[in-house]
């Protein structure tokens, strides 16, 4: 009995020892391979005028703390369970030139890769899709070309894919709908082709969808109304996007930024959009739309600050409820078919600093004694009294001019 438990104890000791060594040894080997990987990354950098990577010199296997790769500029090792393993590589706005080494895929503990705002060229290595723990891939503001690798859709944990302001081509892989954790997807300002995958509607955690000026076609899929966490959606300046604005977007009850300006959109502006009470920016300008401002829109959009519906073929009048939207700072309704009088309620908008109503059929009996003029004289930020510059008034583009009196 006693001997049995002693044996048992020895076995346990051996097993614990084995587990321990199995745990530690690959850690050591892997650490030096993280170093090899970083040095391979550095080797692919052809220009570093700021000397950002000067601290990246081989530690020659020395394991002392001052030599650790974890102290190299831009490198962090934040895993407690795997000390010495690289978890983040962040070298933003560092003027780095050259290409992104595919070897980065060997940083198996990497969760954040941010190389935004450099001068990197070449393609996005498809090997980055092999990073098993990656959350953030941020490569915006470089000169990257080629396609968005389909391999990046192997992304169980990916939360941020930020690739704006590059020269990327090809289509958006529809399989990004597999990336259930995605919160930010931004490919603005690239030269893509094809459309917005309808399957994106199932990205229920997505908060920011940036598709500005990316040459997309094929319309806005109605399924995007299912992105229940969406805070900001920008598909502006895709002049051939086309189609109409899906009524389902009105279901995006958290949305505060909606910008679809200059997107070749037709059809009517769905009334459901005026029900999104969280909206602070609504910009649908320069589209071949139609519609009217609902009578109560100033009440149903209590947070609206930027109302940009210029050149949208709006009909009808400007409802007095506009005066209830007291956060309004900018109203751009020029180049529409608006009629009737301009409600003096606009004078209640204390934060208003730009009002453009040019090129409509509004009643134009505006002189400095009319009620609207008098009311606008009261529009001022911070309660300071304001005087209107009447010269700009004649064409009815009004900017707040604070003339000290
Ligand atoms: C760690 O490495 C640095 C640089 O090689 C060296 O100067 C220092 O003496 C080493 N420290 C220890 C404790 O070995
Ligand atoms: C990753 O590391 C292994 C082992 O060092 C190497 O053979 C392989 O080429 C590396 N992968 C890349 C993409 O560099
Ligand atoms: C990456 O860096 C850029 C530039 O500093 C920054 O704007 C962006 O928010 C960063 N991305 C993430 C996910 O932190
Ligand atoms: C990605 O999409 C392609 C077709 O577009 C499909 O063959 C493939 O199975 C998809 N991959 C995953 C992981 O869903
Ligand atoms: C824009 O997309 C179209 C196809 O949708 C393609 O023919 C054209 O080359 C793209 N333009 C640019 C500048 O990438
Ligand atoms: C996309 O990225 C650009 C450039 O960094 C940024 O200005 C824009 O706000 C982003 N769009 C969204 C919807 O987050
Ligand atoms: C998403 O939206 C589409 C169209 O609006 C709808 O048919 C579908 O049932 C919705 N739900 C899911 C999970 O896609
Ligand atoms: C706006 O919301 C109200 C209240 O929830 C609802 O009755 C109405 O049908 C909605 N209008 C549109 C156009 O979605
Ligand atoms: C809208 O403004 C009018 C005029 O000041 C006011 O009488 C009304 O109570 C306001 N409505 C709401 C819902 O705030
Ligand atoms: C402008 O403000 C003054 C002082 O608050 C007020 O007496 C006046 O009625 C206001 N004028 C208009 C047109 O709202």
**Number of neighbouring beta carbons within 10 Å of residue 135:** 18
pLDDT of residue 373 exceeding 90: no
Domain boundaries in the chain?
293-405
Pick the residue with more confidence: 115 or 68? 115
Q: Whose CA is nearest to atom 11 of ligand 1?
A: 64
Q: Where would I find the H helices in 219-330?
A: 297-300
The 10s digit of each residue's pLDDT in 187-215 is: 999 999 999 999 999 999 999 999 999 99
Neighbouring residues of 71: CB distance < 8 A, sequence distance ≥ 6: 55, 65
Q: Is 78 exposed, middle or buried (0-12, 13-18, 19+ CB in 10 A)?
A: middle
pLDDT of residue 121 exceeding 80: yes
Residue 382 alpha carbon to ligand 10 centre in Å? 15
Q: Whose CA is nearest to atom 2 of ligand 4?
A: 175
Phi then psi for residue 218, to 5 deg, are: 90, 5
pLDDT of residue 61 exceeding 80: no
What is the rounded distance in angstroms from the CA atom of residue 116 to the CA atom of residue 135?
15
Beta bridge partners of 339: 361
Average pLDDT over residues 228-236: 98
Query: Using the 8-state DSSP alphabet, how is residue 259 labeled?
Result: E
Q: Whose CA is nearest to atom 14 of ligand 10?
A: 375
Average pLDDT over residues 102-115: 97
Q: Which two tokens stand for residue 4?
A: 């049995």
The 10s digit of each residue's pLDDT in 147-203 is: 999 999 988 899 999 999 999 999 999 999 999 999 999 999 999 999 999 999 999
Provide the mean pLDDT of the chain. Answer: 86
Helix (H) or strand (E) holding 298: helix 297-300
Residue-level pLDDT at 12: 38
SS3 of 155-189: the string is CCCCCEEECCCCEEECCCCHHHHHCCCCCEEECCC
pLDDT of residue 346 exceeding 80: yes
Average pLDDT over residues 100-117: 97
Is ligand 1 within 6 A of the CB of residue 66? yes
- From 117, 160, 164, 257, give the residue whose CB has the most ligand 6 atoms within 8 Å, as the site to mutate: 164
- Give the rounded distance of the alpha carbon of 322 from its chain centre: 29
Among 263, 279, 181, smallest CA distance to 231 is for 279
User: Among the CATH numbers 3.40.630.30, 3.30.40.10, 3.60.110.10, 3.80.10.10, which is that of 293-405?
Assistant: 3.80.10.10
Sign of CA dihedral 263, 265, 268, 271: negative
Pick the residue with more confidence: 374 or 335? 335
Residue-level pLDDT at 83: 87
pLDDT of residue 125 exceeding 60: yes
What is the rounded distance in angstroms from the CA atom of residue 222 to the CA atom of residue 235?
14
Average pLDDT over residues 215-242: 98
Lowest-confidence segment of 61-65, 114-118, 257-261, 386-390 by average pLDDT: 386-390
CB contact at 8 A, 339 and 318: no
Average pLDDT over residues 90-105: 97
Q: Whose CA is nearest to atom 2 of ligand 5?
A: 193
State what percent of residues in the chain have pLDDT above 90.
69
Q: Which atom of ligand 6 is nearest the CA belonging to 188? A: 1
- At residue 340, the 3 state secondary structure works out as strand
Pick the residue with more confidence: 49 or 345? 49
Is ligand 3 within 6 A of the CB of residue 238? no
CB contact at 8 A, 86 and 38: yes
Average pLDDT over residues 121-140: 97
The 10s digit of each residue's pLDDT in 299-326 is: 999 999 999 999 999 999 999 999 999 9
Among 175, 242, 169, smallest CA distance to 203 is for 175
Strands 397-399 vs 354-356: parallel, antiparallel or unpaired: antiparallel
Residue 312 alpha carbon to ligand 1 centre in Å? 68
CA distances from 144 to 97, 102, 151, 154 (A): 11, 14, 17, 21
Residue-level pLDDT at 391: 31
CA distances from 202 to 213, 261, 311 (A): 23, 25, 33
HSE-CB for 175 with a 13 A CA cutoff: 10
Is ligand 3 within 6 A of the CB of residue 111? no
Q: Which atom of ligand 9 is nearest the CA belonging to 299? A: 13
pLDDT of residue 49 exceeding 90: yes
Residue-level pLDDT at 363: 78
Residue 297 alpha carbon to ligand 9 centre in Å? 12
Proximal ligand: closest to the CA of 276: 8
Helix (H) or strand (E) holding 4: helix 2-43
Q: Which two tokens stand for residue 170?
A: 């090809």
Beta bridge partners of 161: 137, 185
What is the rounded distance in angstroms from the CA atom of residue 309 to the CA atom of residue 245?
14
State the Cα angle at 170 between 165 and 171, rounded to 5°.
95
Residue 192 alpha carbon to ligand 5 centre in Å? 7
Residue-level pLDDT at 395: 44
């Amino acid at each position: 009995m006693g001997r049995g438990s002693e044996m048992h104890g020895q076995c346990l000791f051996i097993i614990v020892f084995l587990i321990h060594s199995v745990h530690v040894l690959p850690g050591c080997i892997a650490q030096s391979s993280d170093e090899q990987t970083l040095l391979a990354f550095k080797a692919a950098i052809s220009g570093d005028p700021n000397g950002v990577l000067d601290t990246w010199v081989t530690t020659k296997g020395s394991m002392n703390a001052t030599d650790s790769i974890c102290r190299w500029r831009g490198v962090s090792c934040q895993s407690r369970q795997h000390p010495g393993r690289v978890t983040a590589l962040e070298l933003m706005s560092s003027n780095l030139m050259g290409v992104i080494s595919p070897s980065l895929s060997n940083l198996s503990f990497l969760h954040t890769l941010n190389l935004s705002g450099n001068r990197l060229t070449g393609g996005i290595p498809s090997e980055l899709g092999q990073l098993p723990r990656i959350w953030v891939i941020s490569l915006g503001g470089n000169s990257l070309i080629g396609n968005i690798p389909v391999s990046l859709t192997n992304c169980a944990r990916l939360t941020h894919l930020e690739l704006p302001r590059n020269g990327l081509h090809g289509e958006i892989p529809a399989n990004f709908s597999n990336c259930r954790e995605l919160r930010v997807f931004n490919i603005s300002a690239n030269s893509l082709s094809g459309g917005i995958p309808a399957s994106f509607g199932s990205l229920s955690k997505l908060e920011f969808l940036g598709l500005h000026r990316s040459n997309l076609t094929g319309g806005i899929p109605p399924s995007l109304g299912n992105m229940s966490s969406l805070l900001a959606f920008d598909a502006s300046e895709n002049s051939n996007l086309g189609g109409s604005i899906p009524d389902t977007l009105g279901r995006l009850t958290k949305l505060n930024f909606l910008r679809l300006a200059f997107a070749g959109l037709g059809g009517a502006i769905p009334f459901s959009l005026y029900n999104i009470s969280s909206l602070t920016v609504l910009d649908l300008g320069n589209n071949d739309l139609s519609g009217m401002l609902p009578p109560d829109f100033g009440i149903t959009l209590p947070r609206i600050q930027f109302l940009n519906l210029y050149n949208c073929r709006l009909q009808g009048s400007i409802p007095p409820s506009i005066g209830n939207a007291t956060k309004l700072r900018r109203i751009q309704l020029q180049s529409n078919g608006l009629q009737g009088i301009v409600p003096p309620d606009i004078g209640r908008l204390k934060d208003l600093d730009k009002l453009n109503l040019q090129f409509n059929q509004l009643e134009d009996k505006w002189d400095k004694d009319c009620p609207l003029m008098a009311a606008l004289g009261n529009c001022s930020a911070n309660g300071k009294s304001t005087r209107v510059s009447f010269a700009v008034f004649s064409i009815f583009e009004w900017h707040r001019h604070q003339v000290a009196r």
